[in-house]
Amino acid sequence: MPAPIITIMDDLVSAAPSTLMFPVTAMSKRRWMIETDAGPVVQLECLDSPNRALIYATAARDGSGPLRAAFTTMLLLEDTIAINLGAHGVCSGDATVTVYRFINLEGVSAETIGLALTEFAHFAAALLARRGIGLPGARRDDDHEISELNILD
C-alpha cells in the first residue's frame, strides 16, 4: 500500500531526495511549498479527496514577486473565481494571478512529487512571464507547453 501523501511530504521536508532541486517547507498539516530559482513559490495543498491535491503558484500582478498565501485565501481576498483552461487553470484578480492544476496522488512517490513540483515551477514561471508578470529569475524565453506538463495527470 502506498504511503499517504502527508507521510510522503513530511519525508520530503525532513530528507529530500537528490532529485529534488529545491527544499520543501511545511506550511500547515496539509500544505507544503518550494521556493525556486525560477521565481514562483509552488505549493501543494491536499483536498478533502484522499487521491487529489492542488498544486499552484501565486504571484503579484505588479511583478513584485511570489506570494505564499493558501489558494482559497487568495480566492477570497481577491473576490475572484478559478477558471480551468484544460490541464491547468488561472485565477486572475486585481492584485494577483494564480496558476493551478489538480493532480492525482494515487500511487505517488517522493520522487514523482518532487518532479511534479519542480516541473510546475518552470511551467508557472513561463506562463506568468507570457502574461507580462515577471518574477525574479524567470526566463521569458521558456517554451514549456501545456502538453508537456503531464506529470501526475
Nearest to 72 by CA among 109, 45, 50, 95: 45
Number of structural domains in the chain: 1
Nearest to 41 by CA among 136, 142, 144: 136
Residue 32, domain CATH: 3.30.1460
In a domain, 46, yes or no: yes
> Helices 110-130 and 5-14 meet at what angle, rounded to 10?
80
In a domain, 153, yes or no: no
In a domain, 123, yes or no: yes
Tracing cell 518552470 back to the chain, one arrives at 122
What is the mean pLDDT of each successive set of 10 residues along the chain, which is 153 residues long? Answer: 78 84 90 83 88 90 83 75 78 88 89 88 84 62 48 53
Distance of CA 19 to the CA centre of its chain: 17
In a domain, 14, yes or no: yes
Beta bridge partners of 34: 24, 42
CA distance 131 to 125: 10
| Host domain of residue 135 | 5-148
pLDDT in tens, 4-35: 888 999 999 998 877 778 889 999 999 999 98
